[in-house]
Structure 1
Amino acid sequence: MKTTLLVLGIFLFSVFSKLQAADIEARTGVMGGDVWGLHAGAYINFPQSKLFSVQTGLLLHTANQWVIGNNDTWDIDLNVPVYASFHFPLSEIANLRLNGGAYIGTGHKLQVGATADVGVEVRRLFVGVNCFQNCINNQEFLFGISVGYKFRL
Protein backbone atom coordinates (compact mmCIF):
# COMPACT_ATOMS: atom_id res chain seq x y z
CA MET A 1 0.00 0.00 0.00
CA LYS A 2 2.81 2.42 0.89
CA THR A 3 4.60 1.64 -2.37
CA THR A 4 1.43 2.29 -4.36
CA LEU A 5 0.92 5.65 -2.61
CA LEU A 6 4.56 6.57 -3.21
CA VAL A 7 4.34 5.72 -6.93
CA LEU A 8 1.03 7.61 -7.21
CA GLY A 9 2.56 10.61 -5.43
CA ILE A 10 5.59 10.66 -7.76
CA PHE A 11 3.30 10.37 -10.78
CA LEU A 12 1.03 13.22 -9.63
CA PHE A 13 4.04 15.41 -8.81
CA SER A 14 5.49 14.88 -12.29
CA VAL A 15 2.13 15.63 -13.94
CA PHE A 16 1.58 18.82 -11.93
CA SER A 17 5.15 20.00 -12.47
CA LYS A 18 4.54 19.73 -16.24
CA LEU A 19 1.23 21.58 -15.90
CA GLN A 20 2.99 24.53 -14.30
CA ALA A 21 5.10 24.86 -17.44
CA ALA A 22 2.03 24.61 -19.69
CA ASP A 23 0.45 27.50 -21.52
CA ILE A 24 -2.97 28.10 -23.03
CA GLU A 25 -3.45 29.54 -26.51
CA ALA A 26 -6.78 31.12 -27.48
CA ARG A 27 -7.47 31.04 -31.24
CA THR A 28 -10.00 32.35 -33.71
CA GLY A 29 -10.27 32.53 -37.49
CA VAL A 30 -12.05 31.25 -40.58
CA MET A 31 -12.38 27.67 -41.75
CA GLY A 32 -13.67 26.20 -44.95
CA GLY A 33 -14.53 22.95 -46.60
CA ASP A 34 -17.74 22.50 -48.50
CA VAL A 35 -18.88 25.73 -46.83
CA TRP A 36 -16.99 28.50 -45.02
CA GLY A 37 -17.46 29.40 -41.40
CA LEU A 38 -15.77 30.66 -38.28
CA HIS A 39 -13.75 28.81 -35.69
CA ALA A 40 -12.69 29.57 -32.13
CA GLY A 41 -11.06 27.53 -29.45
CA ALA A 42 -8.29 27.04 -26.97
CA TYR A 43 -5.23 24.82 -27.00
CA ILE A 44 -3.06 23.74 -24.09
CA ASN A 45 0.61 23.16 -24.74
CA PHE A 46 2.75 20.79 -22.63
CA PRO A 47 6.45 21.54 -23.37
CA GLN A 48 8.74 18.54 -23.30
CA SER A 49 11.82 20.50 -24.40
CA LYS A 50 12.59 23.82 -26.12
CA LEU A 51 12.00 22.21 -29.51
CA PHE A 52 9.13 19.78 -28.85
CA SER A 53 5.79 19.78 -27.04
CA VAL A 54 2.49 17.94 -26.93
CA GLN A 55 -0.52 20.12 -27.69
CA THR A 56 -4.25 19.43 -27.45
CA GLY A 57 -7.37 21.53 -27.28
CA LEU A 58 -10.94 22.20 -28.30
CA LEU A 59 -11.88 23.93 -31.56
CA LEU A 60 -15.48 24.94 -32.25
CA HIS A 61 -16.31 25.62 -35.89
CA THR A 62 -19.28 26.35 -38.13
CA ALA A 63 -17.80 25.00 -41.40
CA ASN A 64 -19.47 21.73 -42.20
CA GLN A 65 -21.18 20.09 -45.15
CA TRP A 66 -24.46 19.47 -43.35
CA VAL A 67 -25.67 23.08 -43.48
CA ILE A 68 -25.61 23.39 -47.29
CA GLY A 69 -29.05 24.45 -48.43
CA ASN A 70 -30.33 24.99 -44.89
CA ASN A 71 -30.03 28.65 -43.91
CA ASP A 72 -32.27 28.28 -40.83
CA THR A 73 -29.67 26.48 -38.76
CA TRP A 74 -26.12 27.26 -37.76
CA ASP A 75 -24.43 24.01 -36.76
CA ILE A 76 -21.48 24.22 -34.42
CA ASP A 77 -19.12 21.26 -34.49
CA LEU A 78 -16.27 20.42 -32.14
CA ASN A 79 -12.80 19.10 -33.03
CA VAL A 80 -10.35 17.80 -30.42
CA PRO A 81 -6.85 17.53 -31.93
CA VAL A 82 -3.76 16.03 -30.32
CA TYR A 83 -0.54 17.32 -31.87
CA ALA A 84 3.14 16.52 -31.76
CA SER A 85 4.42 20.11 -31.94
CA PHE A 86 7.89 21.03 -33.18
CA HIS A 87 9.29 24.53 -32.55
CA PHE A 88 12.07 25.82 -34.81
CA PRO A 89 13.67 29.12 -33.70
CA LEU A 90 13.69 31.82 -36.39
CA SER A 91 15.03 34.56 -34.10
CA GLU A 92 15.12 35.37 -30.39
CA ILE A 93 11.41 36.26 -30.43
CA ALA A 94 10.00 34.11 -33.26
CA ASN A 95 9.47 30.38 -33.82
CA LEU A 96 8.21 28.35 -36.74
CA ARG A 97 5.74 25.82 -35.37
CA LEU A 98 4.90 22.56 -37.15
CA ASN A 99 2.14 20.44 -35.62
CA GLY A 100 0.90 17.07 -36.78
CA GLY A 101 -1.41 14.54 -35.23
CA ALA A 102 -4.86 13.07 -35.02
CA TYR A 103 -8.27 14.44 -34.09
CA ILE A 104 -11.74 13.35 -33.14
CA GLY A 105 -14.72 15.53 -33.95
CA THR A 106 -18.46 15.84 -33.74
CA GLY A 107 -20.94 16.83 -36.37
CA HIS A 108 -23.70 15.02 -38.18
CA LYS A 109 -21.56 11.90 -37.70
CA LEU A 110 -18.44 11.07 -35.71
CA GLN A 111 -15.22 12.31 -37.30
CA VAL A 112 -11.80 10.74 -36.85
CA GLY A 113 -8.80 11.74 -38.88
CA ALA A 114 -5.46 13.45 -39.34
CA THR A 115 -4.69 17.10 -38.67
CA ALA A 116 -1.80 19.47 -39.30
CA ASP A 117 -1.06 23.02 -38.21
CA VAL A 118 1.75 25.32 -39.45
CA GLY A 119 2.41 28.82 -38.25
CA VAL A 120 4.72 31.49 -36.95
CA GLU A 121 4.80 32.43 -33.29
CA VAL A 122 6.14 35.90 -32.46
CA ARG A 123 6.43 36.35 -28.71
CA ARG A 124 2.93 35.25 -27.63
CA LEU A 125 1.09 35.88 -30.92
CA PHE A 126 0.47 32.99 -33.34
CA VAL A 127 -0.59 33.21 -37.00
CA GLY A 128 -1.05 30.02 -38.97
CA VAL A 129 -2.99 27.65 -41.14
CA ASN A 130 -4.50 24.30 -40.22
CA CYS A 131 -6.27 21.41 -41.87
CA PHE A 132 -8.43 18.53 -40.72
CA GLN A 133 -8.81 15.45 -42.93
CA ASN A 134 -11.69 13.23 -41.85
CA CYS A 135 -10.75 9.64 -42.65
CA ILE A 136 -14.30 8.29 -42.30
CA ASN A 137 -17.78 9.65 -43.19
CA ASN A 138 -17.33 11.07 -46.71
CA GLN A 139 -13.69 11.99 -45.99
CA GLU A 140 -14.44 15.68 -45.33
CA PHE A 141 -11.48 18.11 -45.56
CA LEU A 142 -11.38 21.42 -43.67
CA PHE A 143 -8.82 24.19 -44.10
CA GLY A 144 -8.45 27.13 -41.70
CA ILE A 145 -6.54 30.34 -41.13
CA SER A 146 -6.23 31.45 -37.53
CA VAL A 147 -4.65 33.87 -35.11
CA GLY A 148 -3.98 33.13 -31.48
CA TYR A 149 -2.58 34.54 -28.27
CA LYS A 150 -0.67 32.47 -25.72
CA PHE A 151 -1.30 32.87 -21.98
CA ARG A 152 1.32 31.42 -19.65
CA LEU A 153 0.14 29.46 -16.61
Structure 2
Amino acid sequence: MKKKTLVLIVIALFSAFNHVQATDIEARTGIMGGDVWGLHAGAYINFPQSALFSIQTGVLLHTANRSAIGNSNTWDIDFNIPVYASFHIPLKEKANLRLNGGAYFGTGSEVQVGATAEVGVEMKRVFVGVNCFQNCINEQEFLFGISVGYKFKL
Protein backbone atom coordinates (compact mmCIF):
# COMPACT_ATOMS: atom_id res chain seq x y z
CA MET A 1 0.00 0.00 0.00
CA LYS A 2 2.80 2.44 0.87
CA LYS A 3 4.64 1.67 -2.39
CA LYS A 4 1.52 2.40 -4.44
CA THR A 5 1.03 5.72 -2.65
CA LEU A 6 4.67 6.68 -3.20
CA VAL A 7 4.47 5.78 -6.90
CA LEU A 8 1.30 7.89 -7.30
CA ILE A 9 2.95 10.87 -5.58
CA VAL A 10 6.02 10.62 -7.83
CA ILE A 11 3.84 10.39 -10.96
CA ALA A 12 1.80 13.41 -9.80
CA LEU A 13 4.94 15.47 -9.18
CA PHE A 14 6.42 14.63 -12.59
CA SER A 15 3.19 15.47 -14.39
CA ALA A 16 2.88 18.74 -12.44
CA PHE A 17 6.42 19.77 -13.43
CA ASN A 18 5.77 18.81 -17.07
CA HIS A 19 2.91 21.36 -17.22
CA VAL A 20 4.86 24.22 -15.64
CA GLN A 21 6.33 26.49 -18.30
CA ALA A 22 9.64 28.33 -18.05
CA THR A 23 10.34 27.37 -14.44
CA ASP A 24 13.69 28.58 -13.17
CA ILE A 25 15.88 28.23 -10.10
CA GLU A 26 17.62 31.28 -8.69
CA ALA A 27 20.74 30.83 -6.54
CA ARG A 28 21.21 33.62 -3.97
CA THR A 29 23.88 34.94 -1.63
CA GLY A 30 24.36 38.10 0.41
CA ILE A 31 24.31 39.61 3.87
CA MET A 32 21.46 39.66 6.37
CA GLY A 33 21.03 41.25 9.74
CA GLY A 34 18.87 42.50 12.53
CA ASP A 35 20.30 42.44 16.03
CA VAL A 36 23.26 40.55 14.53
CA TRP A 37 24.66 40.60 10.99
CA GLY A 38 25.60 37.47 9.08
CA LEU A 39 25.69 35.82 5.69
CA HIS A 40 22.91 34.15 3.76
CA ALA A 41 22.71 31.75 0.83
CA GLY A 42 19.94 29.76 -0.74
CA ALA A 43 17.87 28.99 -3.77
CA TYR A 44 14.43 29.99 -4.97
CA ILE A 45 12.20 28.31 -7.53
CA ASN A 46 9.90 30.43 -9.66
CA PHE A 47 6.54 29.23 -11.05
CA PRO A 48 5.35 31.75 -13.69
CA GLN A 49 1.60 32.29 -13.90
CA SER A 50 1.82 35.00 -16.57
CA ALA A 51 4.43 37.36 -18.03
CA LEU A 52 3.89 39.76 -15.12
CA PHE A 53 3.14 37.45 -12.17
CA SER A 54 4.63 34.32 -10.61
CA ILE A 55 4.70 32.32 -7.39
CA GLN A 56 8.17 32.01 -5.89
CA THR A 57 9.40 29.91 -2.98
CA GLY A 58 12.69 28.54 -1.73
CA VAL A 59 15.06 28.13 1.19
CA LEU A 60 17.36 30.84 2.52
CA LEU A 61 20.01 29.71 5.02
CA HIS A 62 21.45 32.47 7.21
CA THR A 63 23.79 33.09 10.14
CA ALA A 64 22.06 36.27 11.40
CA ASN A 65 20.56 34.83 14.56
CA ARG A 66 20.10 35.98 18.12
CA SER A 67 22.08 33.08 19.59
CA ALA A 68 25.24 34.76 18.20
CA ILE A 69 24.78 37.83 20.45
CA GLY A 70 27.64 37.91 22.93
CA ASN A 71 29.25 34.77 21.48
CA SER A 72 31.55 35.44 18.53
CA ASN A 73 32.37 31.72 18.21
CA THR A 74 28.79 30.78 17.29
CA TRP A 75 27.93 29.99 13.66
CA ASP A 76 24.41 28.64 14.04
CA ILE A 77 22.65 28.31 10.72
CA ASP A 78 18.94 29.10 10.61
CA PHE A 79 16.65 29.01 7.60
CA ASN A 80 13.67 30.88 6.19
CA ILE A 81 11.19 29.43 3.70
CA PRO A 82 9.32 32.28 2.01
CA VAL A 83 6.34 31.98 -0.33
CA TYR A 84 6.07 35.09 -2.49
CA ALA A 85 3.52 36.56 -4.85
CA SER A 86 6.02 38.00 -7.34
CA PHE A 87 5.20 40.88 -9.68
CA HIS A 88 7.52 41.58 -12.65
CA ILE A 89 7.32 45.15 -13.97
CA PRO A 90 9.21 45.64 -17.27
CA LEU A 91 11.73 48.50 -17.21
CA LYS A 92 13.63 47.78 -20.45
CA GLU A 93 13.81 44.91 -22.92
CA LYS A 94 15.92 42.68 -20.62
CA ALA A 95 15.28 44.37 -17.24
CA ASN A 96 12.43 43.99 -14.75
CA LEU A 97 11.58 45.55 -11.42
CA ARG A 98 10.54 42.68 -9.17
CA LEU A 99 8.19 43.23 -6.22
CA ASN A 100 7.63 40.24 -3.93
CA GLY A 101 5.40 39.93 -0.90
CA GLY A 102 4.19 37.01 1.15
CA ALA A 103 4.63 34.88 4.22
CA TYR A 104 7.48 32.79 5.58
CA PHE A 105 8.28 30.02 8.01
CA GLY A 106 11.69 29.91 9.67
CA THR A 107 13.84 28.69 12.49
CA GLY A 108 15.79 30.71 14.98
CA SER A 109 15.91 30.76 18.75
CA GLU A 110 12.25 29.71 18.33
CA VAL A 111 9.98 28.86 15.40
CA GLN A 112 9.22 31.88 13.25
CA VAL A 113 6.14 32.66 11.19
CA GLY A 114 5.70 36.05 9.64
CA ALA A 115 5.56 38.41 6.69
CA THR A 116 8.27 38.96 4.11
CA ALA A 117 8.84 41.44 1.30
CA GLU A 118 11.48 41.92 -1.36
CA VAL A 119 12.23 44.48 -4.06
CA GLY A 120 14.93 44.23 -6.68
CA VAL A 121 16.05 44.61 -10.26
CA GLU A 122 16.41 41.65 -12.59
CA MET A 123 18.70 42.15 -15.59
CA LYS A 124 18.72 39.14 -17.91
CA ARG A 125 19.53 36.34 -15.40
CA VAL A 126 21.08 38.43 -12.61
CA PHE A 127 19.02 39.69 -9.65
CA VAL A 128 20.05 42.36 -7.11
CA GLY A 129 17.66 43.25 -4.33
CA VAL A 130 16.80 43.88 -0.72
CA ASN A 131 14.49 41.81 1.46
CA CYS A 132 13.04 41.79 4.95
CA PHE A 133 11.53 39.16 7.21
CA GLN A 134 9.25 40.21 10.09
CA ASN A 135 8.57 37.46 12.63
CA CYS A 136 4.99 37.93 13.87
CA ILE A 137 5.22 35.56 16.86
CA ASN A 138 7.63 34.95 19.73
CA GLU A 139 10.34 37.62 19.89
CA GLN A 140 9.13 39.47 16.78
CA GLU A 141 12.59 39.45 15.19
CA PHE A 142 13.15 41.65 12.13
CA LEU A 143 15.77 40.70 9.52
CA PHE A 144 16.96 42.85 6.62
CA GLY A 145 19.05 41.50 3.74
CA ILE A 146 20.85 42.46 0.55
CA SER A 147 21.04 39.71 -2.08
CA VAL A 148 22.62 38.92 -5.41
CA GLY A 149 21.21 36.02 -7.43
CA TYR A 150 21.58 34.18 -10.72
CA LYS A 151 18.78 32.34 -12.57
CA PHE A 152 19.18 28.89 -14.07
CA LYS A 153 16.46 27.85 -16.53
CA LEU A 154 15.00 24.35 -16.11
Question: TM-score, normalized by length of structure 1?
Answer: 0.89
User: Would you say the 8 A contact 2:32–2:144 is kept in 1?
Assistant: yes
Q: Which structure 1 residue ranges, 4+ long, deviate > 2 Å from structure 2?
A: 9-16
Once the two structures are superposed, the pairs formed by residues 138-153 of structure 1 within 5 Å of their partners are: 138-153=139-154
Specify the code of the residue in structure 2 equivalent to 1:46: F
Specify the code of the residue in structure 1 equivalent to 2:86: S
**CA distance in 2 between partners of 1:148 and 1:12 (Å):** 27
* Correspondence for 2:118: 117
* Correspondence for 1:45: 46
**CA distance in 2 between partners of 1:38 and 1:84 (Å):** 25
* Correspondence for 1:104: 105
**Aligned to 1:90, what secondary structure does the other structure show?**
strand
> RMSD of the TM alignment (CA)?
1.6
Is the alpha carbon distance of 1:71 and 1:10 closer, same or farther for their aligned partners in structure 2, counting shifts above 3 Å?
closer
Is the alpha carbon distance of 1:11 and 1:142 closer, same or farther for their aligned partners in structure 2, counting shifts above 3 Å?
closer
User: Would you say the 8 A contact 2:66–2:108 is kept in 1?
Assistant: no
Structure 1 position 106, deviation (Å):
0.8
* Correspondence for 2:82: 81
Structure 1 position 14, deviation (Å):
4.8
Specify the code of the residue in structure 1 equivalent to 2:19: S
Is the alpha carbon distance of 1:11 and 1:138 closer, same or farther for their aligned partners in structure 2, counting shifts above 3 Å?
closer
Does 1:35 pair with 2:5? no
Structure 2 residue runs without a partner (length 5+)? 1-10
* Correspondence for 2:19: 17
Structure 1 position 144, deviation (Å):
0.3
Is the alpha carbon distance of 1:26 and 1:10 closer, same or farther for their aligned partners in structure 2, counting shifts above 3 Å?
closer
* Correspondence for 1:129: 130
**CA distance in 2 between partners of 1:105 and 1:10 (Å):** 27
Is the alpha carbon distance of 1:89 and 1:68 closer, same or farther for their aligned partners in structure 2, counting shifts above 3 Å?
same
**CA distance in 2 between partners of 1:126 and 1:72 (Å):** 32
Aligned-pair identity in percent equals 76
**Aligned to 1:71, what secondary structure does the other structure show?**
coil
Structure 1 position 137, deviation (Å):
1.4
**CA distance in 2 between partners of 1:111 and 1:14 (Å):** 30
Structure 1 position 16, deviation (Å):
2.5
Residues matched between the structures, number: 144
**Aligned to 1:96, what secondary structure does the other structure show?**
strand
Structure 1 residue runs without a partner (length 5+)? 1-8
